[in-house]
Amino acid sequence: MLDEAKLQQFIQKMLGDLGGATSVALVRIGHSLGLYKALEGAGPMTSVEFASKANIGERYAREWLSHQAASGYLRYEPAHGTFELAPEQAMVFANEDSPVFMMGAFDAAAAMIENQAEVGAAFKTGKGVAWSNQAGCMFCAIGKMLRPRYAANIVTNWLPALDAVVPKLTRGASVADVGCGTGFSTVLMANAFPKSNFIGYDFHPGSLEQAAAHAGEHGVSNARFEVATAKEYGAKDLDLVTFFDVLHDLGDPRGAAEHVFQSLKPDGTWMLMEPIAGDRLEQNLHPIGRLAYGFSTMICVPTSLSQEVGMALGAQAGETRLTEVIKSGGFTGVRRAAETPFNMILEARK
């Protein structure tokens, strides 16, 4: 028998989900037109005052502000008809240096919608969708999404959590950043450790063009970028190899693990950032797991299935499965060195 109360509860949940979906375009407009920047630190404003400051039409301003308030993205004061971006909200929408700046995630969500036809067709064939064939600027969005996490953690938290790695980098070490994408991770490390040499590898030339430009903008001279896969990069005798959000996307992660093992010095370290996840589905049935499974279905699994072997670990593989894959390459020691609400850092040694 149908439970009317449960039905209404579920409908309320779906209305919340649909509201979030409609927010994607409006949040991206807010970012692209500098609307959040116009609100940041400005205090309460009416729609007329805001429209004048942001240089947009008042009627659009009023409707956009109303949506943002209804979404809980802005404060609204009925007595004066004013809208305000709270400091906590600014951390998400306006402050690009904030560790919780989320505009890249909204861009990625939009790219996933664009990618629906490609991935939907792949559901039928069981085949993959190559990274270079993803709709929209997926690689730009993913790079933008991960950048705040990297800036907040790589140098200050993740590298120091590894055994004896920071002293090596300080003295001067050889490092390969594999699957570096648009190069944010490589440039951050190169800036922090000027005596070390960094090579960023990726199989996507378009990403590496942006990586090289990013390095140039930051005056980095101890980093270079080359097109190569995780199984074929040429660097040897490395002190450190880093995989930031990479292993689960590979078609042949076991083959990559073997190659990393061969490329490291006897006392070298392999550092991996992976999405945080439990080993069982029931451990991942929460908001972060929901996001991760969404990204995994639309991006990670199709990317892996488009490559050789197509192991398709997925973004919620879990530490046990990842450790198994890492050790299959010859590594004897694997431990979780650090974690955030979104990621875990694994350290692998020979």
- Number of helices and strands (H, E) in the chain? 15, 9
Q: Is the pLDDT of residue 137 over 90?
A: no
Spatial CB neighbours of 50, under 8 Å, sequence gap ≥ 6: 38, 39, 61, 65, 83
Q: Is the pLDDT of residue 279 over 80?
A: yes
Local confidence band at 134 (pLDDT 50, 70, 90 cut-offs):
confident
Q: Which two tokens stand for residue 62?
A: 């009023």
CA distance 149 to 200: 18
Give the mean model confidence (pLDDT) for residues 68-94: 98
Q: Say if pTM beats, i.e. exceeds, 0.75.
A: yes
Q: According to DSSP H, which parts of 99-194 are helical?
A: 103-114, 116-125, 138-153, 165-171, 184-192
Q: Which two tokens stand for residue 91?
A: 């951390």
**pLDDT given for residue 338 in this prediction:** 98
- From the list 199, 202, 201, 273, the residue with the least C-alpha distance to 239 is 199
Local confidence band at 139 (pLDDT 50, 70, 90 cut-offs):
confident
**pLDDT given for residue 131 in this prediction:** 87
Please tell me what DSSP assigns to residue 45: B
Is 66 within 8 Å of 72 (Cβ atoms)?
no
Local confidence band at 106 (pLDDT 50, 70, 90 cut-offs):
very high
Is 200 within 8 Å of 225 (Cβ atoms)?
yes
- From the list 268, 273, 271, the residue with the least C-alpha distance to 174 is 268
Same topology for domains 20-93 and 103-349, yes or no?
A: no
Q: Is the pLDDT of residue 136 over 90?
A: no
Q: Which two tokens stand for residue 274?
A: 């992976």
For the segment(s) 103-349, the CATH number from 3.40.47.10, 3.30.70.330, 3.40.50.150, 3.90.1210.10 is 3.40.50.150
Local confidence band at 228 (pLDDT 50, 70, 90 cut-offs):
very high
Each residue's pLDDT tens digit, 239-256: 999 999 999 999 999 999
CA distance 182 to 5: 49
Local confidence band at 129 (pLDDT 50, 70, 90 cut-offs):
very high
Give the mean model confidence (pLDDT) for residues 182-209: 96
CA distance 223 to 185: 11
Local confidence band at 267 (pLDDT 50, 70, 90 cut-offs):
very high
**Percent over 90 (pLDDT), the chain:** 95
**pLDDT given for residue 133 in this prediction:** 85
**pLDDT given for residue 205 in this prediction:** 93
What is the greatest pairwise CA distance in the chain? 70
Encode 267-291: b = buried (16+ Cβ within 10 Å), e = exposed: ebbbbbbbbbbeeeeeebeeeebeb
Q: Compute the mean pLDDT over every residue in the chain, rounded to the nearest whole number.
A: 96
Q: Which two tokens stand for residue 307?
A: 């490559």
Amino acid at the residue 326 = I
Q: How many CA atoms lie within 13 A of 283 on its CB side?
A: 9
Q: Is the pLDDT of residue 164 over 80?
A: yes
**Percent over 70 (pLDDT), the chain:** 100
222, with CB counted inside 10 A (0-12, 13-18, 19+), is: middle
Each residue's pLDDT tens digit, 288-328: 999 999 999 999 999 999 999 999 999 999 999 999 999 99
Each residue's pLDDT tens digit, 28-64: 999 999 999 999 999 999 999 999 999 999 999 999 9
Structural domain spans, the chain: 20-93, 103-349
For the segment(s) 20-93, the CATH number from 1.10.10.10, 3.40.50.150, 1.10.8.60, 3.40.50.1100 is 1.10.10.10
| Phi, psi angle pair for 61, to nearest 5° | -60, -45
Q: Which two tokens stand for residue 196?
A: 């070390």
**pLDDT given for residue 108 in this prediction:** 93
**pLDDT given for residue 155 in this prediction:** 98
Local confidence band at 168 (pLDDT 50, 70, 90 cut-offs):
very high
**pLDDT given for residue 48 in this prediction:** 98
Q: Quick one: the chain helix, strand, coil %, rounded to 5?
A: 55, 15, 30
Please tell me what DSSP assigns to residue 314: -
Give the mean model confidence (pLDDT) for residues 275-280: 97
Spatial CB neighbours of 237, under 8 Å, sequence gap ≥ 6: 174, 263, 264, 265
**pLDDT given for residue 135 in this prediction:** 74
Which residue's structure tokens are 């970028």?
Answer: 225
| Phi, psi angle pair for 180, to nearest 5° | -70, -15
